[in-house]
């Protein structure tokens, strides 16, 4: 090893010792030395860039994680809203059914012989101007053709078609089998029939009333029960006018039905009734 090499090594060693001393002294004093300042100038921007990138990636990952959580929570809330809306609809339906049942309760209290089926109107015939409608009970509930259908106000019509879970009802405004009717005040008998001209006005007629009867506008008409097809005492409507028949042998009454057919929502089907009570009511 020549003299120059020894001098170089000695110089490097001295510098190393000096650096170590400087670093030690800096650590003791808390003040950065020249070398640390140089390294700081070089490394600080890199550290900032790396730290910024780390924060950015962390924030984005956190955002997507929160987005997924919020999306899941939003979907759960939507489901809860749908369930609550369904519960509200059920509540409204039960409320309407309870109100309708309360309205029917007076009739059912008077006529304990009635076997009935409570039903809801589920469809209306768009091709029928005289309010043929469908209800949600049928042969599975014991409903049969020609059963009387009533509302709390009175006679709505009769069953004309029966399915397993539904049946169709033809209103008293449409063509029906004549139904025995009686004037409540005078007990004059007649037959409830549809009339092609009157039904366009939402009216019907009771025919074969005695010409000398005291039937007058405002009288109430109800089912007579004669013939056994319908029970007695079901309100049909009120007399608007009494007109003579063309042959002048009898009269007929123009009748405003008690039922507002366009607004029917709930009905009762009278599946059976006791004939003995029917005859007693007819005699009274």
CA-nearest of 267, 79, 82, 19 to 156 is 267
Please tell me the total number of residues recorded for the chain in this structure: 284
For residue 9, with 0-12 CB atoms within 10 Å meaning exposed, 13-18 middle and 19 or more buried, which class applies? exposed
- With a cut of 70, say whether residue 253 has pLDDT above it: yes
CB 115 within 8 A of CB 271: yes
Higher pLDDT, 262 or 144: 144
Tens-place pLDDT, residues 142-197: 999 999 999 989 999 999 999 999 999 999 988 777 889 999 998 889 999 888 88
What is the pTM assigned to this prediction?
0.63
Distance CA 277, CA 274 (A): 6
CA-nearest of 237, 139, 230, 130 to 174 is 130
Tokens 């959580």 locate to 69
Query: Which residues, at least 6 apart from 243, have a Cβ–Cβ distance to it below 8 Å?
Result: 251, 252, 253, 254
Tens-place pLDDT, residues 1-46: 556 566 655 555 554 555 555 555 555 555 555 655 555 555 566 6
CA-nearest of 106, 79, 178, 134 to 269 is 134
């Amino acid at each position: 090893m020549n003299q120059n090499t020894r001098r170089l090594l000695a110089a490097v060693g001295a510098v190393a010792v000096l650096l170590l001393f400087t670093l030690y002294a800096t650590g003791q004093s808390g003040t950065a030395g020249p070398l640390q300042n140089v390294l700081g100038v070089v490394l600080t921007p890199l550290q900032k860039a790396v730290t910024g990138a780390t924060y950015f990636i962390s924030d984005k990952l956190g955002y997507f994680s929160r987005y997924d959580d919020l999306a899941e929570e939003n979907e759960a809330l939507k489901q809860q809203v749908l369930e609550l809306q369904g519960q509200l609809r059920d509540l409204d339906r039960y409320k309407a059914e309870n109100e309708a049942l309360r309205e029917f309760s007076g009739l059912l209290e008077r006529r304990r012989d009635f076997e009935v089926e409570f039903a809801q109107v589920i469809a209306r015939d768009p091709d029928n101007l005289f309010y043929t409608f469908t209800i949600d009970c049928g042969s599975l509930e014991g409903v049969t053709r020609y059963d009387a259908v009533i509302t709390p106000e009175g006679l709505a019509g009769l069953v004309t078609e029966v399915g397993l879970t539904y049946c169709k009802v033809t209103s008293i405004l449409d063509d029906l089998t004549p139904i025995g009717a009686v004037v409540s005040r005078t007990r004059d008998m007649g037959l409830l029939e549809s009339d092609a001209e009157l039904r366009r006005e939402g009216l019907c007629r009771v025919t074969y009333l005695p010409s000398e009867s005291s039937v007058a506008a405002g009288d109430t008409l109800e089912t007579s029960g004669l013939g056994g097809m319908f029970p007695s005492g079901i309100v049909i409507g009120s007399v608007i006018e009494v007109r003579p028949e063309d042959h002048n042998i009898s009269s007929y009454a123009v009748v405003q039905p008690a039922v507002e057919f366009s607004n029917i929502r709930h009905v009762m089907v009278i599946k059976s009734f006791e004939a003995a009570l029917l005859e007693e009511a007819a005699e009274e």
